[in-house]
Structure 1
Amino acid sequence: MIRNYIKIAWRNMVRNKFSSLINITGLAVGMAVAMLIGLWIWDELSFNKYFKNYDRIVMAMQHQTLNGNVLTQTYMPIPLGYKMSQEYRNDFKYVVLATNINEHILAYGDKKLNQMGNCMQAEAPDLLTLNMLKGNRKALQDPSSILLSNKLAKALFGDADPMGKVLKLDAKWSVKVSGVYQDLPQNTTFNNLAFIAPWNLYITTMPWLKRAETKWGNNSWQIFCMLNPHADIDAVSAKIRDLKLNNLALQNDKVGVAFKPSIFLFPISKWHLYSEFKNGVNTGGRIQFVWMFGIIGVFVLFLACINFMNLSTARSEKRAKEVGIRKTIGSLRSQLIGQFFCESLMVTAFGLLLSFVLVQLTLPWFNQVADKNMSILWANPIFWLMCVSFSLVTGLIAGSYPALYLSSFQPVKVLKGTFKAGRLAALPRKVLVVLQFTVSIILIIGTVIIFRQVQFTKNRPVGYNRDGLIQVYMKTAPIHDHFAAVRHDLLETGTIAEIAESGSSLTEVSSNYSGFTWRGKDPNTQDDFGWVPISPEFGKVAGWTLKEGRNFSKDMLTDSSGMILNESAVKFMGLDHPIGEIINSGPQQFRVIGVIQYMVMSSPYDPVKPTMFSLLSERENIINIRVNPHASTREALAKAEAIFKKYDPDSPFDYHFTDTEYAKKFGDEERIGKLSALFTTLAIFISCLGLFGMASFMAEQRTKEIGVRKVLGASVFNLWRLMSADFVVLIVISLLIAIPVAYYFMHGWLQNYKYRTELSWWIFAATGIGSIIITLCTVSFQSIKAALNNPVKSLRSE
């Protein structure tokens, strides 16, 4: 019996090639989109699950209160880590202090590579359960050791054994390779960790860190912990909550105490998807994108299913006579139901197979756009269960109408020709088309607003000129030690306009200071300023705009105690005439010599942070270069590299274009926008595919009516308008539903940004007009084709 069902189902598919092709293609595209989104969501939800101690790894974080607002940060003081490991051993198995993961220079012989790495305490490999390919996890107990990732080991030594080889780290530390660990997956927080150097090497060779080991107000490091098996994260958080506050009070650090620091533990399961805090409350983060794409995936699948059901139900009425004959010769209703379900399941099976092909072909491009490294989970039983389950459910739902409705026909009525579909038979199909285009229109509006928000923020005035600006990150001292000579040689090339040093890049304020006082300061006001030490040439290199006063000058010795403020700082301090004002930082005094216009150096989505600029008093690690606008950038870089190599032959010339670094700030939003655009385009394609099929079916149904109308004098335009009007009405109804829904959700989404675009009326109007145009283009081919047919042929049977 089943063999017979399959044979007849195949014949029906072949006989109705056009509708079968539309059904299979629509389902395949919908399944492929759902599969890609499913792989992306799986990757996001499995973030950091590579680590075997996933359920017990936490990070120490803190809330601090600034003028009534609670700020949350991940950077902590060194003594907190020491205190946690010494006094709370019953709660923590490991407490690991770590520096931030940054670029460093690793040199072996003639090879000099810039690699991402950090310094961590000796228990880090055990905490992260590193898979050691060579050596063991205890290697960092030796302060002269280093652990390399497998990829970095191959880059430095090729196929040679790296163990015992001595490297130069940042041209100042000699370290011995004591272990090689397996590269960490991309969907981990530490995916870019190419090496780990010992904390003891870092702490004993940097003199200023001796002071930091006892300073509870210096928040510059991270603390990762692993809880003991029976420790409760909330209970332990409560124990250590006031640890920093109490020790600040013992040190009589009134500024630190005023921030009311509150320590808490944040589990690794939330680092990636729930990293956003607002006013001390964990409000989510990337999880909103997981929900958004999950909903889009469901909607796109829903659109594909609507197409399938629409075309299946539309075609089913043509098979009424077949059902009548089958019943007359003895077919049971159960057999007819089985036949229709078999046909439906065969179509979904072909759709599933084609979707695998589409996913395999598009996955490399999708990985590039999504910044992922995903593959189809062929060996995962959950993946197969979901694919097969969806195919079965889709096939059963789509086949349910013809199976249950047609199998109930009375053969006498059908064969006599007295059977007719009810007046409301087309209503379910119309409702489904409205739902289909409602979803598509919402996706279109959402995608447009996402792109507008990104573009709006990109076009925000940043307060300096990014064109021709290059940042060079220096990990060694020679360039600073010979800065005057380097600057002279660069300017002599004629390709460089100016060069300057700074403690922060133009795209990030990396230091903050508090505890300043000034004339008229409210005693209850807490301050927290960005702090950027610079060389005198910085203003000219950045191309910032002075609102008042002047730039620093190397010819004025008094500028060593000078200060330049940005407008945010002046506004925060309430200074009407800032030039000449004295600002105190403990015993040190600064005189304001200039005020610059707003410079966006941190998040482009947030207000500009109050920032102070002072002359640098020690070596800083960023060299800023302004290329001569009349010179070739390639030539300027070549000459700059030669000069840098002359004074610092042990360091690679590691440069970054400032405009590129600034563009990275939009990475997440741009990726989300591109993926949304892709899925929206496919959703529109699926919807149009369904419209095309429906228009074809309606044209076929109304062949004789069109022939009669032509004979009676109807023009092609009149016939086109007649056949297109029904679809346009459905799209207008979709617009009336979709626009308020889209407005509600996108207005809420924009509230996440302090610097945001507006919901302009033209977005909704353009989407509406575009939807109608797309609809007309889709149905016009079949409408005009039917209108141009020779009426003699269509009426011949009459």
Structure 2
Amino acid sequence: MNAHTKPPRWATWLLTRWSHPDAREELQGDMLEMYAYWLQRRGKPAADRKYCLVVIRLLRPFARRRRTADYPETYSFSPAMIQNYFKIAFRNLLKSKTFSAVNIMGLALGMACSLAILLWIRDERGVDAFHANKDQLYRIYMREYFSGKVQGVIWTPGPLAEELKKSVPEIEMTTPFSWTVPQTFSVGTKTHKQATNWASGDFFKMFSFKLLQGTPDGALRDPGSIAISRNMAEVFFGSPEQAIGKAIRYDNRKEMTVTAVFENIGTNSTLQFDCLMTWDAYIDDNGWAKDWGNTDPLTFFKLRKDADPAKVEAKMRHLLDKTNRDAGKPYKTQLAMQPFHEYYLNSNIKDAKMDGGRIEYVRLFTFVAVFILLIACINFMNLATARSTRRAKEVGVRKVVGAMRSMLAGQFMGEALLITLLSAGLAVLLVALLLPSFNSLTGKQMVLPVSEPSFWGIIAGLLIVTSLVAGSYPAMFLSSLNPVRILKGALKSDSSSGWVRQGLVVFQFGLSVILIVGMIIIYRQVGFVQNKNLGFDRENLVYFPIEGELFNKFDILKTELSRIPGVKHVSHMTATPASNGNGTDGITWPGSDPNDQVRFTPVGVGYDFIKTMDLKMALGRDFSRDFPTDSSGVIVNETAVKVMGLKEPVGREIKWGKSKVHIVGVLKDFHFQSLHTAIRPLIAYLGARQPSGNVVIRIEAGKTPETLVTIGKVTRKLNPNVPFTYAFTDQEYARQYQSEQIVGKLAGYFAFLAIFISCLGLFGLAAFTAEQRTKEIGVRKVLGASVAGIVALLSRDFLKLVVMAIVLASPVAWYIMKQWLQGFAYQIDIEWWMFALAGVIAVLIAVFTISFQSIKAATANPVRSLRSE
């Protein structure tokens, strides 16, 4: 309103200061009549007088109705008023079906995606939460200091658990926990392999694994005891009740007594096993595990409730000093501890601290959930503000009648809440339908926990957050409109909200571009690690464990297997071809620094190992029966030679602990671990066969199925009491990148969802723009404009925003993905074409979305659009 049309001060004062709400409402019409009379007496423009008279005519019937008992007496948030708001909201939804569908569908997809991710995050954070003593449980890891560096090790000395209980009074219980090994068990004619671990008698007293039979004190009471799962009890004995006290044969050489049966372990536990045997039984088979110089199990302990974890860690830090574990070694080892409930999500070691792991994916998916939901909310904001002219007169009339801005904002927030409610119902339905597929993709067993209050808490929180984010800006914008400008028709020329809409479009397409770039880079990296030349041929390479009678019959087995058509080479190794994480630090060589420590990866191998693995020699030769001295010989890789700095390594003598060995050959570097880890120094020795080792077989290409059948027959003949199981090296290698594969697939789905939701909003904006410019398009067509020209006219402004989003999002995407690639020792280069491809995808989808509405508007009959004029 201009200064010369400002009402007199007394009238403004009377209207704003009148104390009684009813009287204030009745004065509205009289106030405007006096205002019009005042304008006429002062000779003001006729347009102003016309404006006031129009408003008076609009308000007189409304004012009369407000004096009746059938209409609310006050303009406040009474139940009747709220009911009226919802009626108006429903009418607006039905009146604008296209925009309502776009809003509801966009919000539903965004909420469904966020809900699925929140359920996954809830499941991830719920792992190990069922233990009653979870806040008192910890695990030990070690920090080794050497040459000014420090490294972390999760495996600990076997005797550490008992020593902790003796030396630290605040520790109530301890247990070692071995790495999981598939072992063969039999009862009568029933023989099966089960995932086996070893622990101490405190295990079931520390952890809350439900015992169906037996007691926590007696479950692992002596070396002959074994605790088995419900499944294992049903397989071998029929039921948990019938299993107690029964004998079960382990590895066809020991009789064990079932002392406890526990409930099958669910996916909400980090520790997974089918049966547990005592640590004393493990020591009987592996005497080296009782030495302080060897590291093998994990170590867990339980603190007293009143214990201070920081003080306990300080007490145990130098506990290994008194064991002489580091005596004569160029490093010192300190102990550190990690809360057990962080074990699952923070399992990686970074800078000698437990940091990173699955928690990184939890954070990543949290951001993705927020991004997707934000993109959906932006659609709502854009469409609500773009269509503000449709609601402007309503806002103007309500303001003139006496509605406060807060009341109008509440009305529009209520409409946003209504749309969000409808979207939330659709989102829950979508999640229920898609959850089985989501479980299959992520390896979970999630269900909609509709009976849990926490689930409805998540729904309520998602509902409130979405309605606030989506409805806050439109509510503030619409409630701030000036009633004078509205009723004068000046709002159409107001472009203040246009910049905000354009910024929101850029923002949501920027998020979409980040997700598309991430998807491209993740797919490229996963393909790179799966197809990279490892230095050996992993195709047609099969291995199976040396167990049972094969330990003593290996030479016969090798002879029999070599005769099978289709078998090229046979050997054995102590690790697996796809993964070897062992370490030894007792190797020195001429000129080595006694204060420096180099950790080598040892592997025991058999004759023909290099031919079986298809490795390449850089120098020297393979082990051979023609050289009896090879029993004290070793083969190292190129990385080991570089570390030792030996110019002519073949024939050189080095020390391994107290023994002297000589180098007979140098292997070209090959990857014996995942590409997350750089190639380490390797030392291969002509090792004796071990029960934990593996038979490795190279099969001719194209003959795998029939050859495996024959291998199974030969193995079962020599080892009849143990089932024949095998693994393919290429499959085991690919399994190391399962998390990356899942992330890559999810990134693809989320990128598609993000771009789809963004295009829903773009579709709505394009439709509204075309509707607003209907008459302009009609005039242009009459004057000879082509369909292509009109399409270009309508598309140009939107495409500028998409291109801007690509430019702004590309550096952000580069930084995020560069950080993700740091987790790989070997990684792809981030190249320009990845961003170009993401941009082209975004532009093409945007063009398709906009063109649909643009072509529809451009091909419309101009007579219809101009007839109203």
What TM-score do the two structures reach when normalised by structure 2? Answer: 0.86
Percent identity among equivalent residues?
Answer: 38
| Alignment partner, residue 317 of structure 1 | 389
Contact 1:457 1:605 in 2 (8 A): no
- Hey, what's the Cα distance between the residues in 2 that align with 1:265 and 1:682? 42
Letter in 2 for 1:306: I
Match of 2:775 among 704, 718, 721: 704
1:212 Cα shift?
4.2
- Hey, what's the Cα distance between the residues in 2 that align with 1:227 and 1:367? 36
Matched, 1:137 2:137: no
- Hey, what's the Cα distance between the residues in 2 that align with 1:78 and 1:338? 66
| Alignment partner, residue 73 of structure 1 | 153
Match of 1:86 among 166, 172, 177: 166
Contact 2:540 2:701 in 1 (8 A): no
| Alignment partner, residue 466 of structure 1 | 538
Letter in 2 for 1:216: W
Letter in 2 for 1:269: H
What TM-score do the two structures reach when normalised by structure 1? Answer: 0.94
Matches of residues 588-627 of structure 1 in structure 2 within 5 Å?
A: 588-627=659-698
Matched, 1:124 2:196: no
| Alignment partner, residue 188 of structure 1 | 269
| Cα deviation digits, residues 132-175 of structure 1 (max 9, x gap) | 11111122113322111223323333447322222112222211
Matched, 1:290 2:362: yes
Letter in 1 for 2:700: P
- Hey, what's the Cα distance between the residues in 1 that align with 2:172 and 2:702? 59
- Hey, what's the Cα distance between the residues in 2 that align with 1:469 and 1:588? 33
| Cα deviation digits, residues 378-437 of structure 1 (max 9, x gap) | 233333233223323433554455555545667776566565351333222111111111
Matches of residues 659-698 of structure 1 in structure 2 within 5 Å?
A: 659-698=730-769
| Cα deviation digits, residues 112-145 of structure 1 (max 9, x gap) | 2222121111110111122111111122113322
| Residue range with higher mean Cα deviation, 371-380 or 395-404 | 395-404
- Hey, what's the Cα distance between the residues in 2 that align with 1:582 and 1:338? 84
- Hey, what's the Cα distance between the residues in 1 that align with 2:133 and 2:314? 22
| Alignment partner, residue 432 of structure 1 | 504
Match of 2:253 among 161, 172, 186: 172
- Hey, what's the Cα distance between the residues in 2 that align with 1:129 and 1:368? 28
| Alignment partner, residue 737 of structure 1 | 808
Matches of residues 185-224 of structure 1 in structure 2 within 5 Å?
A: 185-190=266-271, 192-203=272-283, 205-206=284-285, 208-209=286-287, 212-213=289-290, 215-224=291-300
Contact 1:496 1:625 in 2 (8 A): no
1:742 Cα shift?
1.8
Report the aligned-residue RMSD: 2.3
Closer/same/farther in 2, CA of residues 715 and 653 from structure 1, 3 Å limit: same
1:59 Cα shift?
1.2
1:656 Cα shift?
0.7
- Hey, what's the Cα distance between the residues in 2 that align with 1:548 and 1:405? 77
| Structure 1 alignment gaps of length 5 or more | none
Letter in 1 for 2:136: R
1:499 Cα shift?
1.4
Matched, 1:227 2:227: no
Contact 1:96 1:225 in 2 (8 A): yes
Contact 1:562 1:592 in 2 (8 A): yes
1:517 Cα shift?
2.7
| Alignment partner, residue 111 of structure 2 | 31
Closer/same/farther in 2, CA of residues 366 and 535 from structure 1, 3 Å limit: same
| Alignment partner, residue 763 of structure 1 | 834
| Cα deviation digits, residues 308-361 of structure 1 (max 9, x gap) | 111122223223345566778998877765554443222111100010011111
Closer/same/farther in 2, CA of residues 573 and 364 from structure 1, 3 Å limit: same
1:795 Cα shift?
1.0
Match of 2:536, SS state, is coil
Matches of residues 573-652 of structure 1 in structure 2 within 5 Å?
A: 573-652=644-723
Contact 1:501 1:620 in 2 (8 A): no
| Alignment partner, residue 320 of structure 2 | 244
Match of 1:420 among 481, 485, 492: 492
| Cα deviation digits, residues 37-71 of structure 1 (max 9, x gap) | 11122122222111111111111211113443311
Match of 2:338, SS state, is strand
| Residue range with higher mean Cα deviation, 595-604 or 240-249 | 240-249
1:609 Cα shift?
1.0
Match of 1:111 among 190, 195, 202: 190
Matched, 1:557 2:628: yes
Match of 1:520 among 583, 586, 591: 591
- Hey, what's the Cα distance between the residues in 1 that align with 2:489 and 2:590? 98
Letter in 2 for 1:47: V
Letter in 2 for 1:78: G
1:564 Cα shift?
0.9
- Hey, what's the Cα distance between the residues in 2 that align with 1:402 and 1:612? 68
Closer/same/farther in 2, CA of residues 523 and 159 from structure 1, 3 Å limit: closer
Match of 2:737, SS state, is helix
Matched, 1:370 2:425: no
| Residue range with higher mean Cα deviation, 107-116 or 544-553 | 107-116
Closer/same/farther in 2, CA of residues 201 and 548 from structure 1, 3 Å limit: same
Alignment: residue pair count:
787
| Residue range with higher mean Cα deviation, 30-39 or 749-758 | 749-758
| Alignment partner, residue 537 of structure 1 | 608
| Cα deviation digits, residues 748-777 of structure 1 (max 9, x gap) | 333343322222111122222222222111
- Hey, what's the Cα distance between the residues in 2 that align with 1:732 and 1:418? 32
Letter in 2 for 1:163: I
1:623 Cα shift?
3.2
Match of 1:290, SS state, is helix
| Alignment partner, residue 272 of structure 1 | 344
Letter in 2 for 1:105: T
1:462 Cα shift?
0.9
| Alignment partner, residue 352 of structure 1 | 424
1:283 Cα shift?
3.8
| Residue range with higher mean Cα deviation, 717-726 or 447-456 | 447-456
1:254 Cα shift?
0.8
1:451 Cα shift?
2.4
| Alignment partner, residue 99 of structure 1 | 178
Contact 1:80 1:243 in 2 (8 A): no
Contact 1:340 1:403 in 2 (8 A): yes
Match of 2:850 among 772, 779, 790: 779
Matched, 1:500 2:571: yes
| Residue range with higher mean Cα deviation, 389-398 or 486-495 | 389-398
Letter in 2 for 1:150: R
Letter in 2 for 1:385: G
- Hey, what's the Cα distance between the residues in 2 that align with 1:414 and 1:461? 70
- Hey, what's the Cα distance between the residues in 1 that align with 2:460 and 2:685? 65
- Hey, what's the Cα distance between the residues in 2 that align with 1:612 and 1:279? 26
| Residue range with higher mean Cα deviation, 616-625 or 147-156 | 616-625
| Residue range with higher mean Cα deviation, 35-44 or 295-304 | 35-44
Contact 2:338 2:354 in 1 (8 A): no
Contact 1:50 1:185 in 2 (8 A): no
- Hey, what's the Cα distance between the residues in 2 that align with 1:425 and 1:122? 70
Contact 1:70 1:278 in 2 (8 A): no
- Hey, what's the Cα distance between the residues in 1 that align with 2:762 and 2:104? 15
- Hey, what's the Cα distance between the residues in 2 that align with 1:603 and 1:187? 26
Runs of 4+ in 1 over 6 A off after TM superposition: 325-335, 410-413
Closer/same/farther in 2, CA of residues 401 and 288 from structure 1, 3 Å limit: closer
Letter in 1 for 2:679: V
Contact 1:511 1:531 in 2 (8 A): yes
Match of 2:507, SS state, is helix
Contact 1:501 1:621 in 2 (8 A): no
| Alignment partner, residue 380 of structure 2 | 308
Letter in 2 for 1:312: A
Match of 1:744, SS state, is helix
| Residue range with higher mean Cα deviation, 671-680 or 430-439 | 671-680
1:87 Cα shift?
3.0
